[in-house]
Structure 1
């Protein structure tokens, strides 16, 4: 611990000297500003960022914006750039969002860095961000630079695709994707009344009556649409739970004694309108090998289930991935009509089943297979007797988990991956351009297609693929 603090201190000292990297505007001007407050804030940010990078605790959920250390961007917010250029008020609101994203990430980075006065550091980030913002955006050229830079790179490597002869190798990969889709359709087509292949463990949402009056609007909304997870359970690898750091472990483990579903509220765009999305993520200890040499097996597995709401608050569509970004499936309601794919090869929008219509007091129930944790059925269900009650935890908790000996560490590395969850498939699937395919990933880092380019948080994901009846 002392050596780590010394490393951080050395990094701060070096950064205070200004470094020798080539800096872009407006950061360069701010570091040399005649206004002491602006200059000190710019140097403080530079020192903090150098310390964060030296300690390896950079958070990858949102993208930093070059020369604007107090702002970060995600795909949904980046899509608002054109609107932000339309008026001073829209631009100010846009910057507010970027600043909020950065401040949220800073909280986790500061905690993981081991700064003793975390609240003080976050407050310094807030006040310095406001000061630099005032200095920067008085100039139109800087406003234009921000709108140009506030983008999120995709999670595909063109170099890998070129080296892997993607134009040719994508053909057998596309055939493999179609086989998986066919197998999935067969699983969904099984008689619902047939006996499950393994005992079922059901995880139901928290009791709605427990402390309902004290719940926030966000918690009530999450509770309203939270699904029941019905898991075929053959072993410990099928028991869902809380993600935590264990003594001596270099990767997070799952505590099945504490069933947790990690929740996130985000947004997407549809024809210029923002739609609310609710995300529920469940973690399992592993995906065990089905056969010797199983390329897809490895530590940790899970499911992220997303509900996209219409302006009237009703679900439009459900979709899901595993935390690796794999197995993206869509379950449209009657208010979502699929659009045709632009070509036969591209992974577009696989719909194994339409979403069931829910009667009052019913909610979505998701059947998961043992081991693979593939979805096999989506149905409507009422309260389940004997179900285990899971609790909600903010997805953001994963960005700064407590360590057994004190301190904090993210479940994710600076690359947005969970160390130790690598799959052997990476040695064969790399020509598709995804870094470490099969490894568990942080929100915002989910590439979801081998053929083509697609991300779970693409702002135009649904607009391209579905016709929504919003009203």
Structure 2
């Protein structure tokens, strides 16, 4: 283990223990007096809470780095303005079931959003987010961890020791994998006796919200927390029910050519540099995840325009096959 990862483990390990015992805690407004901050959900006995990842936010004193809560406010003309409130963290979650022959699998899908990615970054724009998927086998053991930005970019798939080697893509790296400049683990090793306690911990880079490291921690690890904050865990459907002046508004556009895209999620630099050769005028814009006939968008994870359907994250089994995995 390298020094930076060891320091990271020492800094956040005990947060797992905290979340195991804080089911009665209420969410709190995020503090801004430290450079790093840990975000977790309280245990409530559900599968979604049990496997919810822990987030460690770099430079959390900057509002645009913090996990927030999508909300609606009136603009100067009284029209709805959808934004992400950085003062309260919310993690949205849902379960997805899928089959392969006689085997059943469960995806635990988590989604978080940030206020913005600042200028001078390729992904600059408002309301960006991350999706994290924990894939479980029939015994609720984690097989895969998948992370991706809500625009479909920076995809990473990491197997665990519960996934047999024959299911891996050919020539899978032994220790780390490069994800567009970020070095992430190529495999997680679970301790069977601690399986009910171990959690994924994602370290989130300042400004770009890239996943810069991932660890697997349990309550037995050496511990010292950094300003833990308990996030609200809400169903994914809550993103379509944002309160606004006695009514509700979806976080996503519901009509027109931008149906299924996050409101206000324009990405001018990506449009300028990538749209012409990827043949997608809305490349890089954040979007909903779900069946295309309902959301209006395909959550593709490749820039190869002729393979968008095959790489659709929602059709998870086909998505895995496209990227070389065989469950």
Q: Same fold (TM over 0.5)?
A: yes
Decide whether the 8 Å contact of 1:318 with 1:355 is kept in 2: no
1:255 CA displacement: 2.1
1:269 CA displacement: 3.4
Q: Distance in 1 between matches of 2:40 and 2:170?
A: 35
Q: Deviations over 1:378-411 (max 9, x none)?
A: 10224564310112101101112111x2211111
CA change 1:193–1:312 in 2 (3 A) is closer
The answer to whether structure 1 residue 287 and structure 2 residue 117 are counterparts is yes
Counterpart residue number, 1:328 = 155
Instruction: List aligned pairs for 1:41-80, cutoff 5 A.
Output: none
1:268 CA displacement: 3.1
CA change 1:269–1:461 in 2 (3 A) is farther
1:435 CA displacement: 4.3
SS in structure 2 of the partner of residue 325 of structure 1: coil
SS in structure 2 of the partner of residue 202 of structure 1: strand
Counterpart residue number, 1:407 = 247
* Structure 2 alignment gaps of length 5 or more: 12-33, 172-178, 291-297
Decide whether the 8 Å contact of 1:201 with 1:232 is kept in 2: yes
Counterpart residue number, 2:232 = 391
* Structure 1 alignment gaps of length 5 or more: 1-187, 342-348
Counterpart residue number, 2:88 = 258
Counterpart residue number, 1:299 = 126
1:418 CA displacement: 1.7
Decide whether the 8 Å contact of 1:203 with 1:229 is kept in 2: yes
Decide whether the 8 Å contact of 2:53 with 2:200 is kept in 1: yes
Match of 2:213 among 361, 370, 377: 377
Decide whether the 8 Å contact of 2:127 with 2:262 is kept in 1: no
Counterpart residue number, 1:221 = 47
Counterpart residue number, 2:19 = none
- Once superposed, what is the RMSD of the aligned Cα atoms? 2.7
The answer to whether structure 1 residue 447 and structure 2 residue 300 are counterparts is yes
SS in structure 2 of the partner of residue 357 of structure 1: coil
The answer to whether structure 1 residue 365 and structure 2 residue 192 are counterparts is no
SS in structure 2 of the partner of residue 307 of structure 1: strand
1:372 CA displacement: 0.7
SS in structure 2 of the partner of residue 396 of structure 1: helix
CA change 1:371–1:190 in 2 (3 A) is farther
Counterpart residue number, 1:460 = 318
Decide whether the 8 Å contact of 2:151 with 2:285 is kept in 1: yes
CA change 1:190–1:324 in 2 (3 A) is farther
TM-score by length of 1: 0.51
CA change 1:467–1:447 in 2 (3 A) is closer
Q: Distance in 2 between matches of 1:352 and 1:380?
A: 12
CA change 1:240–1:449 in 2 (3 A) is same
User: Whose strand fraction is larger, Structure 1's or Structure 2's?
Assistant: 2
Q: Distance in 1 between matches of 2:170 and 2:280?
A: 25
SS in structure 1 of the partner of residue 272 of structure 2: helix
User: Whose helix fraction is larger, Structure 1's or Structure 2's?
Assistant: 1
1:323 CA displacement: 1.0
Decide whether the 8 Å contact of 1:355 with 1:378 is kept in 2: no
Counterpart residue number, 1:419 = 263
